[in-house]
Amino acid sequence: MKSGIGIAAVCAAVSIIVGGSAHADTSGKKIAFSNNYAGNSWRQAMLKSYEIVTKKAVTDKVVAAADIFTTADKEVPTQAAQIQNLILQGYDAIVINASSPDALNGAVKQACSAGIIVVSFDGVVTEPCAYRVVVDFKAMGMQEVEQMAKFQPKGGNLLEIRGLAGTSIDDAIHAGILEGVKAHPQFKIVGSVTGDWDQTTAQKAVATVLPSLPEIVGVVDQGGDGYGAAQAFAAAGKPRPTIIMGNRQDELQWWKEQKAKDGYTTWSASIAPGVSTLAFWVAQQVLDGNKNIPHDLLVPYLAFTQDNFEAELPNIPKGSVASHEYTQAEAIAAIKANMK
């Protein structure tokens, strides 16, 4: 993923945000990362990116600690208890990938009341005191259907693979897909399964419903499930549909093989896992005394087309996801872009 951020923009961002005043010292500050799920390649890449960037930040004495805490299950009460424990442990900021947009608001408000900065991303929270680093997932869902209309102009039956139930991401992408279908009534969603953004889970779920479905021309999904869906259709001996991909290495590799075989066309999009590092730097910047940071920061999703996905494929580790780790300077520039 190319940042597209020039040196001049970074310098301008620093000038605007700092405004010539001295920074507060964050070298003694401790930031915790509360994560509710690590069971797929995207989440693993997210954690790896976060660890790479924060380990260097600790070594460079930008912050004193940047510890990662992942819950043992996907349940809201477990993560709420985790956040309450982090409050008691004296962290100065909590970065959170939330299991629910609103069910964690009580714990988040407790953190804010204790003077702790909370920055949510990917799975964001609606509590006003928190910061949110967000992708327009609804727009991404709508774009899936827009792209599908190019590949399947006559329309037909669609299978939807949803993500992790109860999260803001799942709700937003689903809403976007429904809007897309409304705008393209030649399509009809005839089946829906839950894939947890995971290839194995999606494959099993799709395999279960395929025998009861009419012919499917396309699969709209949320990332981490495209290759699993392809495997399920192949195992069932069903015609290969147009499957929207989610930037995973195995998906893009399968796409490359299908393209070489007969020119197979599709589209791929996802939030970059390295957005976790942007959330970390936002927390650090708030702790650093920057008062002008908006509570809602919009960042673009990462998409690949028929023309450019093969160039990215060699850069993605096997079993991982296309990503980008943010530097502090890039984070400052991203903050500035949201201040307009």
How do residues 195-243 score in pLDDT, each as one tens digit?
Answer: 999 999 999 999 999 999 999 999 999 998 999 999 999 999 999 999 9
In this chain, the answer to whether the domains covering 7-135+272-337 and 137-270 adopt an identical fold is yes
Position 38 confidence tier, pLDDT thresholds 50, 70, 90: very high
Residue 203: how many other CB atoms lie within 10 Å: 20
- Give residue 138's pLDDT: 96
- Give residue 340's pLDDT: 72
Of residues 21 and 115, more confidently modeled: 115
Cα 320 to Cα 101: distance, rounded to the nearest angstrom: 26
- Residue 55, pLDDT > 60, answer yes
What angle, 0 to 180 degrees and rounded to 10, lies between the N-to-C axes of helices 226-235 and 249-262? 50
What is the average pLDDT value for the chain, to the nearest integer?
92
User: What percent of the chain is modeled with pLDDT above 70?
Assistant: 93
Q: Which residues of 139-175 are buried (b: 16+ CB within 10 A; e: fewer)?
A: bbbbbbbebbbebbeebbbbbbbbbbebbbbbbbbbe
Position 291 confidence tier, pLDDT thresholds 50, 70, 90: confident
CB 207 within 8 A of CB 236: yes
- Give residue 23's pLDDT: 53
- Residue 4, pLDDT > 70, answer no
Cα 143 to Cα 157: distance, rounded to the nearest angstrom: 17
**Interval 235-271: pLDDT, tens:** 999 999 999 999 999 999 999 999 999 999 999 999 9
The second-level CATH assignment, the architecture, of 137-270 is 3-Layer(aba) Sandwich (3.40)
Q: What is the mean pLDDT of residues 33-39?
A: 94
Give the torsion through C-alpha atoms of 258, 261, 303, 12, to 10 deg. Answer: 140
Position 29 confidence tier, pLDDT thresholds 50, 70, 90: very high
* DSSP state at residue 123: B
Length of the chain as a residue count? 340
CB 195 within 8 A of CB 163: yes
Q: Which residues contact 191 (CB under 8 A, 6 or more apart)?
A: 159, 160, 209, 212, 213, 216
3-state DSSP of 265-308: CCCEEECCCCHHHHHHHHHHHHHCCCCCCCCEEECCCEEECCCC
Q: What is the mean pLDDT of residues 129-158?
A: 97
In this prediction the pTM is 0.82
Q: What is the mean pLDDT of residues 153-165?
A: 96
Positive or negative, the CA dihedral 32, 34, 38, 41 is negative
* DSSP state at residue 103: T
Cα 67 to Cα 187: distance, rounded to the nearest angstrom: 46
- Residue 7, pLDDT > 50, answer no
Which sequence spans correspond to the domains of the chain?
7-135+272-337, 137-270
Q: 152: alpha, beta or left, given left = phi > 0 and alpha = psi -120 to 50?
A: beta
CATH class for the domain made up of 7-135+272-337: alpha beta
Residue 109: how many other CB atoms lie within 10 Å: 16
Beta bridge partners of 233: none
**Interval 167-193: pLDDT, tens:** 989 999 999 999 999 999 999 999 999
What are the DSSP E strand ranges found in the chain? 30-35, 65-70, 93-97, 117-121, 131-134, 156-162, 187-194, 218-220, 242-243, 268-270, 296-298, 302-304
